[in-house]
Amino acid sequence: MSRLPKVQLLNNNRDEIVGSVEHNPLDVNTLQTTSRPLSTDDKYKMKFATKTIHAGIAPDPSTGAVMTPIYQTSTYAQAAPGDHQGYEYARTQNPTRHALEANLAALENGADGICFGSGLAAMDAILKLLNAGDEVVATNDLYGGSYRLITKIYERFGLKGHFVPMYDATQFEQYLTPNTKLIWIETPTNPMLNIVDIEAICKVAKARGILTAVDNTFASPYLQNPLDLGADLVVHSATKYLGGHSDTVLGAIMAKDAELAQRLHFIQNASGAVPGPMDCFLVLRGIKTLHLRVQRACENAEKIAHSLLGHPKINKVYYPGFTDHPGHELAKRQMRHFGAMVSFDLKEDTLESATKILTKTELFTLAESLGGVESLIGHPASMTHGSIPREERLKVGLTDSLIRLSVGVEDVDDLLADLKQAL
């Protein structure tokens, strides 16, 4: 007997959308998996390091292969119409993707995971939960691609984005209106490394019936679990720390409850922005060493951040591990370490000054992205945040000379020497 999960069709027309309720614009009859929920042992009893290797994963039923196979297929044989082994078409279901989704749900203590072709595709699916006229309140210091998706794509369809400071939860409520349907939190923020009080913001949202989503890419599940702090959804660019090897692009959402996960699975299937099985395999592979990689990277970042303090060419170093960082105490409460990202700007605040450093490093590679085993160096103003108007980024401190480091797992002495010679 096959051990593949069975899938029950709840409606003969799987594309049908039925009904509409407030905060639930996709109350649908759609696909429901019947054997994928994680056991209590998977979700709660395993320690994190054990979850990365075992949660949601079992040997392949046909061969006993220990590693989840790459099911590189677009369709599946049926004995008769509707008589299949739980899989019909690869946009809708794929065993490699299902294993990854189950594993990710366990890492974030969620009801289910939903995977997409990229982190922005995952965010896109969340925005599709909303209706024209709804408003999104987002951190004013966030990834440029998230800003672009809200302002350049979804505002054309009637959504409205507001980008506001979230660092003082007591002042946050003033930015909410009756039309606010989603609060988008990013913490630590990209690239200024500000810390947002997830629990406090989510309490405000819950009192008003507003959906909350936290982009947890910079922290990874090893350092921070937003669902445990009250968030409804947690989002990852799995391209970064989850994959960890800069060799795949993938996005993921983990939902706190099954009903919300089912709505997102409907969007996943209906919109079709799914990852391929090879990408899912690579992220599954990367997750197995997530705790080891992130711990080493955090230790390296801490030493590098302190080494940059007091350098005559550096104006300010941004790192939540500093005791004088405004979010330091909060980071200690809601994170397990301070992360492996460090930013700094220069006293000579020009692109030209930054470029001199960016082009001189030898171990730090000048490149977009973050979270890989290798150390990267970047210039947010012209790279990751190029879509944000200059006057807006300057308001949050993202200067022309700001440099962002994604610290890898190399020997820290070599990384320190590289930065020293570049500076």
What mean pLDDT is predicted for residues 130-135? 98
Query: Could you give the CA distance from residue 143 to residue 130 in angstroms, rounded to a whole number?
Result: 21
For the cut 90, the answer to whether the pLDDT of residue 7 exceeds it is no
For the cut 60, the answer to whether the pLDDT of residue 13 exceeds it is no
Average pLDDT, the chain: 90
- What residue type is assigned to position 422 of the chain? A
Nearby residues of 378 by Cβ (< 8 Å), 6 or more positions away: 358, 366, 367, 368, 370, 384, 403, 404, 406
Interval 14-62: pLDDT, tens = 344 333 323 333 333 333 333 344 454 455 589 999 999 999 999 998 8
What mean pLDDT is predicted for residues 65-90? 96
Residue 28: the pLDDT is 31
Residue 43: the pLDDT is 55
Interval 174-203: pLDDT, tens = 999 999 999 999 999 999 999 999 999 999
Rg (CA), the chain: 22
> Residue ranges of the alpha helices (H) in 149-289?
169-172, 198-208, 258-271, 277-287
The torsion defined by the Cα of 367, 372, 373 and 376, in degrees rounded to 10, comes to: 20
**Catalytic annotation on 215?**
yes
Confidence band for 210, pLDDT divided at 50, 70 and 90 = very high
Domains of the chain are: 7-287 (3.40.640.10), 290-422 (3.90.1150.10)
Query: Could you give the CA distance from residue 226 to residue 108 in angstroms, rounded to a whole number?
Result: 8
Catalytic residue among 51, 97, 128, 240: 240
DSSP string, 12-68: S-TT-----BTTBTT----EEESS-PPPHIIIIIS-HHHHHHHTT----TTT--SSP
Catalytic residue among 14, 60, 91, 285: 91
Strand 211-215 relative to strand 233-237, pairing: parallel
Residue 389: the pLDDT is 83
- Of residues 197 and 13, the one with the higher pLDDT is 197
What mean pLDDT is predicted for residues 197-210? 97
Residue 396: the pLDDT is 82
Structure token pair of residue 137? 């309140």
Q: Are 219 and 339 in contact (CB under 8 A)?
A: yes
Q: Cβ-count burial of 360 within 10 angstroms (0-12 exposed, 13-18 middle, 19+ buried)? A: middle
Share of the chain above pLDDT 90, in %: 83
Interval 305-331: pLDDT, tens = 999 999 999 999 999 999 999 999 999
Catalytic residue among 124, 197, 215, 232: 215
What mean pLDDT is predicted for residues 140-162? 95
Residue 44: the pLDDT is 59
Catalytic residue among 71, 87, 143, 241: 143
Residue 387: the pLDDT is 76
Short-list 36, 37, 17, CA closest to 27: 17
